[in-house]
Amino acid sequence: MTNKQSAELQSTALRVREHIIRLSAGGGCFIGASLSCVEIMVYLYTHVIRRDAAHPHDPQRDYLFLSKGHDVPALYGTFVEMGWLAAERLSNHLSTQDSIYWHPNRHIPGVEFHSGSLGHLPAVAAGVALDCKLRGSQNRVVVITGDGELNEGSVWETLLVANAYGLDNLTVVVDRNQFQANIRTEELVPLEPLADKFRAFGCEVQRIDGHDYGQLKEAFDGAMRPGKGGSSIHGSGGKVKVIIADTVRGKGLPSIEARADRWFCAFSGDEVLQLLEELHGNKEAAIESETLVVR
């Protein structure tokens, strides 16, 4: 990746983070888990996912499913930067007159499927990947999950089945930000050694720094290369790809980075201005708003 490409990606990510911070005002949003996956989301939509906004239902498109739906601010922020969603619509956040709320809605162009209940979209993505295989088409299917989300048994059932059907056109990206809602994953239901677990379930695993575009490029170049084409149970199909992206919850805002109590945040207008300053490397924000505990 050239320095110029990398600089462009970085400035896009910065603008996405600005959108996320603004969405944390008023009714609030899941800010930490949104900030952790910005680079993943920006890289996927700008460099990996083949999707023509003019033909959103093209059956040959690549699919990106957001299973950890609570990071929808990162998704919509990226959509704004891609030119798919008018920036003004973000100010309709939590209005019953629009479809922009705490989890993704399919009425927003670009959203392939709704989510919010964890552990659903790996299975939905596997269904789409299976049909692509059955039709012999070359679409790639990516699903982003959280790490806390890996608690749900349905994720692991999907891996068993997807590997049984040789769905090597399916890539699972884990936003490994180390947190469940209000507690570190390793302090509650430990996930490590995580790569070993995915390998034991039959997957091809890479582990990268999820904020490093060079590593994201290398990982997706590897994961998205054409598969064997075939699909058959216990047969010739390849393996499901897994990219464990190590990230920092709240990335970009030192005052909330990797803090268990910064899960769902509803900041005041003044705090939002301070956080925007902090994002740009100026003074660290002094936050007084209490954190709500909801999932």
Partner 1 sequence: MTYEELLTETALKDERIIVMTAENRALVRNIPTVLGARFVDTGITEQTMVGMAAGLALRGRVPIVHALAPFLTMRAFEFIRTDVGIAGLPVKLSGYIPGFLSDGNGPTHQSIEDVAIMRGIPGMKVYSPANEDDLVKMLPSIWASPSPAYVRINHKKGVYAHTPYQPGKAEVVAEGKDLTLLVYGFLFDNARQAVALLEKEGFSVGLVNMRSLKPVDEEAIVRAARGSGLLVTIEDHLQTGGLYSIVAEVLLRHRIGAAEVLPLALNERWFRPGLLGQVLETEGFTPEKIAERINSHLYAK
Q: Rule CB under 8 A: which residues touch partner 1? A: 26-27, 69, 94-97, 101-103, 105, 114-119, 148-149, 151-153, 180-183, 188-189, 292-295
From the CB of residue 52, how many other CB atoms can be counted at a distance below 10 Å?
9
Q: Which is nearer to partner 1, 136 or 153 (CB)?
A: 153
- Whose structure tokens read 């995915």? 198
Q: Which is nearer to partner 1, 26 or 202 (CB)?
A: 26
Q: Which is nearer to partner 1, 43 or 79 (CB)?
A: 79
Pairing of strands 170-176, 141-146: parallel
Shortest gap between Cβ of 147 and partner 1 (angstroms)?
Answer: 10
From the CB of residue 175, how many other CB atoms can be counted at a distance below 10 Å?
29
Shortest gap between Cβ of 211 and partner 1 (angstroms)?
Answer: 24
Residue 240: its H or E element: none
Phi, psi of 260, rounded to the nearest 5 degrees: -65, -30
User: 3-state SS string over 4-68?
Assistant: HHHHHHHHHHHHHHHHHHHHCECCCECHHHHHCCHHHHHHHHHHHCCCCCCCCCCCCCCEEEECC
Pairing of strands 141-146, 204-209: unpaired
The encoded tokens of residue 253 equal 């805002």
Q: Which is nearer to partner 1, 118 or 285 (CB)?
A: 118
Q: Which is nearer to partner 1, 111 or 223 (CB)?
A: 111
Shortest gap between Cβ of 27 and partner 1 (angstroms)?
Answer: 5
Shortest gap between Cβ of 233 and partner 1 (angstroms)?
Answer: 26
The encoded tokens of residue 108 equal 């927003």
Shortest gap between Cβ of 72 and partner 1 (angstroms)?
Answer: 9
From the CB of residue 25, how many other CB atoms can be counted at a distance below 10 Å?
20
Shortest gap between Cβ of 40 and partner 1 (angstroms)?
Answer: 21
Pairing of strands 204-209, 241-246: parallel
